[in-house]
Each structure stands twice: as structure tokens, then as C-alpha cells.
Amino acid sequence: MAFRLKLVPEKTSIDFFRWQWATFGVSALMVAASVVLVIVMGLNFGIDFKGGTTIRTESSQPLDVGAYRAALSPLDLGDVSITQVFDPTFGPDKQVAQIRIQAQQGAESLTPEAILAVEAALKGADPAVVFAAVESVGPKVSGELLQSAILAVLAAATGILIYIWMRFEWQFAVGAVAALVHDVVVTIGVFALFQLKFDLTIIAALLTILGYSINDTVVVFDRLRENLMKFKTTPLRDVMNLSVNETLSRTVMTSGTTLIALIALLVLGGDVIRGFVFAMTFGVVVGTWSSVFVAKNIVLWLGVKRDWSKPAETPFPGAEQP
Amino acid sequence: MLQIPLWKRIVILALVLSGIAFAVPNLFYGRVEAHNDAIVAAERVGFETPEQAVARGGWPDFLPSGLVNLGLDLRGGAHLLAEVHVADVYKARMEALWPEARRALAGKRATIGAVRRAPAPDGELRIQIGTPAAMAEAVAAVRDLANPVVTLTGVGESDLDVTAEGDILIVRLSEAERAATDDRTIQQSLEIIRRRVDEVGTREPTIQRQGADRILIQVPGLGSAAELKALIGTTAKLTFHPVLGRSSEPDPAPGLGRVVYPSVDERGLFYTLDASPVVSGDELVDARPDFDQNGRPAVSFRFNPTGARKFGDYTAANIGQPFAIVLDGEVISAPVIQSHIPGGSGIITGSFTVEESTNLAVLLRAGALPAGMTFLEERTIGPELGADSIEAGRIASVVGLAAVVVFMILSYGLFGVFASVALMVNIAMIFGILSAIGGTLTLPGIAGIVLTIGMAVDANVLVFERIREELKTAKGPARAIGLGYERAMSAIVDANITTFLTAAILFFLGSGPVRGFAVTLMIGIVTSVFTAIWVTRLLVVVWYDRRRPKTITV
């Protein structure tokens, strides 16, 4: 028999519901904490959503944030933030800074003259500076982008709800969408906690998390449906445990390969997409957790019809079996 | 159970091979790009330079030469989102309508009394009439000026909305006409922007309409958004007016039919001009950068026959008079007419730099924009930043891929090898499809591919795990493999449809780089299902047919 790497033993019988209150409680707590964090600390919106200008500078000289700040202050641009960007892929002669200028009163985007003035001032502070990227978004567009981003997340969740409802039962749809909401809210919470930049690409990451998490949830639901047809009299809780155990090996394998690829990107992919990849990596972990501990708990509570040979009639409760 | 009909094998193989064939050019990106550029350049000019022939020879003509477009974030370039002031055109229309309306109403002076223009908001024409009792007749007279709007629905609506309020007659463009006008304005703007961008000759600019009144312009390789803005942000409306006077202060009440414009060169000098131009830039056929007799940069131009006649007649009749050349509401110069200019060509001098005269010539050749624009969003990405991102993405993909392959082989042995082959095919097919449909790869798109690398094995994992389970109960490996594929199918389909659903929503609601991500994700889902279900299955079946193992280990 050839060697096989086995992350999960051949046969497991872990009782995933033994600590259902604790695991579900942790999830509920994380969601609540995330909501509080977002309300209290707010999100560090990027210019996509808030308007304003960002300038990415690169220089071979050691970066002096103070000198940059001093150079820009006479221009009277309002709120200006300058942060140094660190990345393991940068050499010692690559000093990168991100300068963010608030949306200017009455102007849709920073005027070319203003950008030239900023660039000239920075050149004065550091002759070796080059401008790798200059981006400016007006308040009008940023408002619309935020709106369409929220719309996108809601539309995706609704689409999934309807699809799962059609393919399975409404209880599954509710469980799956609750898991999705959990994933999205907790990821946003982490962005609020660490004040990571929240821009359009993060929305893309959130939607991908939705897709990934639902993927995971559906695989277990699919097995559950199969087992429900096979074991018509076993208590729902046991059938669920069996299904999760049977698919555990696959869940760990898929999460494992996805995480390997994402971590490679996180470490080596450069700082420009680090936020995006971080959101996805975090989302894969949370998504795996939620499909085991959130989606199933909710389905268990809601109960499902047990006789799949007949058309849907009695939606619940789960403990109706003799 | 394990048979795959020959035609299916051929189809699978053909799809895989064509996917790889379309992907291959991307491995030789620089060479293929030079090849494609050489062909385009040669077609445009009509002949081929030796360098172009060499570049074209760098890639064989019979091979696919489609490439994945690199998004602005990878290639570097300028991005602008402009809002066109469509209402500008309403205003111009109302201005043009006033003389017509005045003439129409003047004919009925006997019944409707004296006619006077009243102050009105932009896009409206208000006319005060002397005898309010005869308003109905005045309204009818103005309505006669209206034309039916030609729309797709073909409902014969009038282009003017004429109403009355006391002794004031109000004329507006009707809803249908506004919509039709907006559409025309945007189409014209798109056309003119395209001409201007093409004039500077950069590669594959994207110029698209977005929503009702917006235009998205993306030009790869251009130094900065400011440059692009200078090129397309100017209306470039050139007109030639008779000069009626000049003063150091703007005349607050120049009188009807007169306008006051500032001078570009001399601050504090204002010209009072006749409002109706003698000729305008619309009648130019050519404009090119030139030098005047003193060697200063200038722009020489040529009129079409009607323009030339008007220009010739006017110069003949007004020798010794000053004549103003106005660009976008500013007087560039006001030379005195020295002699009759019959040929319809002339030269504009002013204090230009060579760069400015070149730009002005480009703008004049391309024509004036029908309306002004505001820029809502502008982004400039340096080419080095894009190159860094590509490099980082490449390294991350290779490392991620290698790690996943090792992990799969350690976990599933030979079946892991099959899955890895399918994974490589999958990546080749993503690039192949992206190249074939001319899709755009963005930085998040690279992340999408890396994510697909991780997720693509999911379908295989589902199948392999299922085969393992079936091996415990089923009779013989062939049956286990068959059942494994069969029973894993519903989970694979459901899981991928839901992911595809979110990717599709991302595509329709997203923009720019996010859209690029959605496209790669959608393609990745389709190809990963195909490779996981059909390609690995084919590999497994071929292997099984050859070896006929009594037992298998997955």
C-alpha cells in the first residue's frame, strides 16, 4: 500500500454538536463584536468609496515621512495621510509610501494643477522620488461605487438563497445564508479592527468568500440530503454528524489546497493586492468554520422534512420521528 | 461503466489541445505582441518597414496570436471617467432657436404685439409677448418650428415643448428630444475622443460609454491621466469673429448679439466681438503644427470649400480690420487682415510652445466636443508598478501551483498526478479562453487564477474521496470509480453553480479590475469543472484500461 498523506483519519466520528452552544456562541459573539467594531471604529474606506486622491511614491532614498508632510502642508489640501509601505519583496533601495489626500471641496477630482503641485513639492523633499501610481476619485462616483458594492453583496446572497431553496429546502437556504452573512460580517469586522484599507477589491474578495463558503456548505448539504434518504429513522442530529464526518476529509483537503495557494499569494504577491488576498485567506478560514458550525446548527434547529420520497409537505420539526 | 465513447474522447482531447494552443502565445508575450503590432502598423500605413517585417517574422503567422490583454493595473497607463454635460447642448439649441422664434413671431406682430426675450434658466427659452390674449396664436406659431423626433419607437413626438404662463411663452426641449439629444451628444463625444486618442497613436485605448452620460477612457502606456485630460478635456471649439472693440475692462453690457472674451496672451485685455462667427472649426479639413515667418510655433489650417468661400469673402471685404481667432471662449490672437485670403488656408499664431501647437493641431483635426466634461475619476498607474505586480503574481502562482501539486500527489498518489495534470490543463485553458475572447487580465484576476488553482482540485477531491468510500462497499475498482464520479456529481454541480452565480453578479455590478477578476473566476469555474470531470476521468479510464488493476488505492 502506497504512502498517503492523511490529514484526517479514514473514519472519524467527531460529535460536531457536542459543543454546539459554545461554537455557535463564538460565531454569534464574533458577529456581534464585528458589528460593534464597525460602528465604533468605522471602516478605513479607500478612495473608491470615500473620494480623494492617493499617490504611491517610490524612492531609492530612505523615506522621511516628516519631510513629505512638511513639503505638503503649505499646499493646504486638508486631511493628508502619509504611510510607509513595507513588503518583504522590496529591496533596501526601494522605499514606498502611500499618500492619501482627502476629497477637495467642490471639485470632483484633484485638478491636474494640484497634482503637479503635490508632485513638485514631494520632488523638493526627495529628489529621487518617482510616482508609481496616482489615483483620484470624485465624491459623486465614490458614493455610487459604495451603493453598487452593497447591492452586489445583497444580490449575491439573494441569488444563493433562491438557488439553495430550489435545490434543497428552505431550512438549508436559511442556514446557508446565515453562514454567509456570518462570513461577510466577521471579515468586515476584522477590517474595522485593524483599520485595513477597505476598497472595491475587498468587495470582490467578500463576494468570492460568499462563493467559497457556499461551495463548502453545499457539499455537506448534498451529503446530508443523501444520508437523509438512506437513514430515514436516525435522529437528524446523528445524520448530520455522519454527513459532516464523511465529508470532513474533503473539507480539509479543499481548504488546505486553497489556503496553500492563497498563502503563497499573500506572502509573495506584493503589497498592492495584500489586503485583497488577506480578505480571501481570512474568508476561507471563516467560511470553513461557518459551514460546519453555523449552517448546520441552524438547519438542526429549524429541522427538515425527513421523508424525501414524498414531495415537501411538513417542513418541520426535525424530531418528529418515532 | 467505465467506457467513454470515442467521439467524447476526441472532443475532450480537441478542447484541451485548442485551449493549450490559444494559451501558448502568452508564453512569448513580447514576441507575439511585436508581431501583432507590426501587422496593425503595416495595415494602417499600407507598407511594411524592415523592422516591422522582422517583428512579424518573430512569430509564425499560422499559430494563434491572440494575447491576454493586460489591464491598466498590470500594464500601466491612464484611466479617466468623464461626465459629459449633456445639458450644454440644450442651452445651445435654445440660443439657436431664439432668432428663428423671433422671426416667426415678428410676422404676427399685428395680433400678438411686441416680442421680447425674457430671462430664463439654462435650457429654456422665455419670450414675453405684448398681447397675452393672443397667446394661443403665439404658441401655435412657435410650435410650427418644431420637428418630429425620430426615435426607435417611432412615436411622432415633437422636439419642442411649448407652454404659456401669463404673458410669457416658454419653450423647452421635449423629453423625447432630450433623450435623443443626449444620445447624440454622447455618441459624438465618443467619436471625437476616439479620434483625438488615436491621433496620439497609443495601443488599444478603451473608450466606452457608461450609463447615461458618462464616458470611460483607458489608455495603456500613457504617462499620466493629466496628459490624457489635456488631450480630451478641451472642447476645442474654434471660431473666427469680427472684432468690434477692445478694452482693459470687460464690458458688462455688450449689447445684443455681442460677446466679450478675454485675451489669452495679454492679461487684462478684453475683446468685444460679434457673437455670430464668420467661420468655425467645423469647417476645417486640416490643421497641422507649423512655424510663422519669425520661426515661432504656430498652427496652419485649411478650410473646406464652403468655409474657404466665407473666409475669402470676409477677408476681401474687411481689409485693415482686426479679426479674432477664438478657442473655447478665449481670444488666441486678433490679427489685422492684411489682404484677401482666397485659398481657404491660414495660420494661427500666438505665444505657443511647440508642444501646445502640436496639441492644438491634433484637437482641431479631431473636431470640437459637442459639450463640456467633468472628470469624476482619474487614475495613473506607472508601468513599473504593473511589471512588479505581474512578477509577484507569477511567482505566487508558480509557488502555489507547486505546493498544491505536491499536496495532491502526497494525498492521492497516482490519482493526485492525474488531478495535477488536469490542473495544469485548467490553467492553460483559462489563459487560452481569455486570449481567444480578448479578455483582460487584471491584478485581482491573477488572484482569481491563484484561487482557482486552490479550488479547482475541489471537484477532484470530491470524486476521489467518493471513490475511496465506494471502494469499501462496491464490487471491484471499476464500479467504485464509476460510482465515485456519478455520486460526486450533484455536489460538484451545486457547489460550482452557486460560485458561478456570485461571479456573474460580480461581473454585472463590478467595474474595472473587479470585473477582470469576475471574468477569470467564471472562466476558471467552467474550465475547472470540465478538467476535473472529463479530463481526469479520461486519464483514469485510459490508465485503468491499460493496467486492469485488481485493486486500486486512491
Structure confidence by residue, pLDDT tens digits, A117-141: 888 888 888 888 888 888 888 888 8
By Cβ distance, the residue of B411, B413, B498 closest to A211 is B498
* Cβ neighbours of B404 in A, within 8 Å: 257, 260-261
Burial B258-274 (b: 16+ CB within 10 A, else e): bbbbebbeeeeebbbbe
Residue of B nearest to A11 (CA): B469
CATH number of B6-27+63-73+383-547: 1.20.1640.10
Give the residue with greater pLDDT, A9 vs A237: A237
| Candidates 3.30.1360.200, 3.40.50.360, 2.40.50.140, 3.30.460.10; CATH matching B238-345 | 3.30.1360.200
> What is the C-alpha to C-alpha distance for residues A129 and B245, in angstroms, rounded to an integer?
50
pLDDT of amino acid A321? 41
Closest CA to B283 of B213, B364, B356, B215: B364
Q: What cell does B60 get?
A: 509564425
Are the C-beta atoms of residues A98 and A54 closer than 8 Å to each other? yes
Minimal Cα–Cα distance from B486 to chain A, Å? Answer: 13
Count Cα atoms within 13 angstroms, Cβ side, for B515: 9
Give the residue from chain A lying closest to B79, CA to CA. A135
**Residue B351 neighbours by CB under 8 Å, 6+ apart:** B264, B265, B296
Collect the ranges in chain B with pLDDT lower than 50. 1
Q: Are A4 and B469 inside 8 Å of each other by CB?
A: no
The reply to whether the predicted model has a pTM over 0.80 is no
Contacts of A160 in chain B (CB under 8 A): 498, 501-502
Q: Which of A263, A217, A288 minimizes the C-alpha distance to B404?
A: A263
Residue B139: what pLDDT?
A: 86
Place of cell 435522529: A235
Beta carbons of A138 and B388 less than 8 Å apart? no
Contact A112 B455 (CB under 8 A): no
Residue B451 Cα distances to A48, A254, B393, B404, B432, angstroms? 24, 11, 12, 11, 18
Tell me the C-alpha distance between B452 and A262, whole Å: 10
Set of cell numbers at residue A108: 470632483
B139-142, long-range: CB < 8 A, 24+ apart:
B139/B163, B139/B164, B139/B169, B141/B104, B141/B105, B141/B107, B141/B108, B141/B112, B142/B101, B142/B104, B142/B105, B142/B169, B142/B171
Residue A312 has pLDDT above 50, yes or no: no
Q: How confident is the model at residue A308 (pLDDT cuts 50, 70, 90)?
A: low
| Chain B residues whose beta carbon lies within 8 Å of the beta carbon of residue A165 | none
Contacts of A141 in chain B (CB under 8 A): 81, 376-377
With CB atoms and an 8 Å threshold, state whether A211 touches B230: no
Q: Looking at the predicted structure, is the pLDDT value of residue A10 above 80?
A: no
pLDDT given for residue B93 in this prediction: 81
Residues of B in Cβ contact (< 8 Å) with A270: 388-389, 392-393
- Using CA of residue B502, residue B506, residue B508, residue B513, what is the dihedral sign? negative
How big is the CA angle at B328 (ends B327 and B329), to the nearest 5 degrees? 95
The CA distance from B420 to B411, in Å, is: 12
Closest partner residue to A152 (CB to CB) among B399, B505, B513 is B505
pLDDT at position A322: 38
Domains of chain A, start order: 20-43+142-302 (1.20.1640.10), 52-137 (3.30.70.2040)
For residue A260, give the chain B residue with the closest CA: B400
Q: Which residues of A touch B513 (CB under 8 A)?
A: 200-201, 204
CB atoms within 10 A of CB B305: 10
pLDDT tens-digit map of B150-186: 666 656 678 888 888 888 888 888 888 888 888 888 9
pLDDT band at A313 (very low <50, low <70, confident <90, very high): very low
B43-77 pLDDT tens trace: 777 777 888 888 888 888 888 888 888 888 888 88
Contact A261 B494 (CB under 8 A): no
Contact B454 A148 (CB under 8 A): no
Here the cell at position B341 is 485670403
Distance between A152 CA and the closest CA of chain B, angstroms: 6
Are residues A5 and B503, on separate chains, in Cβ contact within 8 Å?
no
Question: Residue A178: its pLDDT value, please?
Answer: 92
Residue-wise pLDDT tens digits, A133-183: 888 888 888 888 888 888 888 888 888 888 888 888 888 999 999 999 999
> Are B230 and A280 inside 8 Å of each other by CB?
no
Q: Do A257 and B396 touch (CB under 8 A)?
A: no
Say if the ipTM goes beyond 0.95.
no
Please name the residues in contact with B232: beta carbons below 8 A apart, sequence gap of 6 or more: B80, B82, B193, B196, B197, B217, B369, B373
Which chain A residues contact residue B445 at CB under 8 A?
A: none
Residues of A with Cβ-Cβ distance to B462 under 8 angstroms? 219, 250
Contact B498 A215 (CB under 8 A): yes
**Mutation for B interface: A257, A280, A285, most B CBs within 10 A:** A257
A34-40 mean pLDDT: 94
pLDDT band at A106 (very low <50, low <70, confident <90, very high): low
pLDDT at A8 over 80: no
Nearest residue in chain A measured CA to CA from B420: A257
Query: Tens of pLDDT along A251-290?
Result: 888 888 889 888 988 888 888 888 888 999 999 999 989 9
Which DSSP helix (H) or strand (E) runs through B81? strand B77-84
Task: Quote the CA–CA distance of B64 and B13 in Å, as a whole number.
Answer: 18
- Are B325 and B238 spatial neighbours (Cβ–Cβ below 8 Å)? yes
The pLDDT assigned to A282 comes to 94
**Mean pLDDT score across all residues of chain A:** 84
Q: What is the pLDDT, as a whole number, of residue B151?
A: 62
What percent of chain A has a predicted confidence (pLDDT) above 90?
Answer: 13
Neighbours of A264 (CB within 10 A): 24
Q: How do beta strands B160-165 and B125-129 pair?
A: unpaired
User: How far is A277 from chain B, CA to nearest CA, in Å?
Assistant: 7
Q: Coil, strand, or helix at residue B550?
A: coil
- Which pLDDT does position B150 carry in this prediction? 66
Find the helix packing angle between A200-230 and A170-193, rounded to 10°. 150
Rounded CA separation A209/A157 (Å)? 11
**Nearest CA-CA distance, residue B231 and chain A, Å:** 12
- In this model, does residue A320 exceed pLDDT 50? no
Cell output for B287 = 490643421
Calculate the alpha carbon distances from A308 to A46, A81, A120, A134, A229 in Å.
49, 60, 72, 59, 6
A257 interaction partners in chain B (CB closer than 8 Å): 404, 407-408, 453-455, 457-458, 461
Could you tell me what percent of chain A has a pLDDT over 70?
A: 91
Query: Would you state the pLDDT for residue A107?
Result: 65
pLDDT value at position A316? 43
Rounded Cα distance between A198 and A43, Å, is 7
**Residues whose CB is less than 8 angstroms from the CB of residue B301 and which lie 6 or more positions away in sequence, other chains included:** B284, B286, B287, B288, B345, B346, B347, B348, B364
The CA distances from residue B100 to A144, B93, B106, B259, in Å, are: 42, 11, 10, 20
Identify all chain B residues contacting A264, using CB atoms and an 8 Å cutoff. Answer: 396-397, 399-400, 403, 450
